[in-house]
Amino acid sequence: MSSSTEAQSSRGDVFKWAIVVLLVAVGVIGNNYYSAESLLYRLIAILVLAGVAGFIALQTVKGKAFFTLAKEAKTEIRRVVWPTRQETVQTTLIVLAVVVFMSLVLWGVDSLLGWIVSSVIS
């Protein structure tokens, strides 16, 4: 019984995704076809088509899984311990110091190798 339910769900999802692709194509082609019209009207039409396509996509199994993932990610972001301003400034200064130091080291190695190669060639 579950395999027939999965097959129906799969066929339904394929149909829904086909509608989503069709709506996106209509939006792209319509935007190009009506390029002489006002940008505001085209933007409203694109947003409406994107909203309908997004709503249909969220009705599929993968769409529901994506929505659940997005909700969990939002919850997880609230749990993050963000660094203080002082920690951010200190870390940025350390990174800048390492970048300057490494650039000087690489410049020195490049100059040395250039001098060696020019001495060998001459």
Q: What is the pLDDT of residue 3?
A: 57
Listing DSSP states for 17-45 in one string gives: HHHHHHHHHHHHHHHHHTTTS-HHHHHHH
State pTM to two decimals.
Answer: 0.57
The structure tokens listed for 46 are 């694109």
The 10 Å Cβ neighbour count of residue 57 is 21
All residue ranges of the chain with pLDDT < 50 are 1
Q: What is the pLDDT of residue 33?
A: 93
Q: What is the pLDDT of residue 12?
A: 82
Q: What is the pLDDT of residue 57?
A: 93
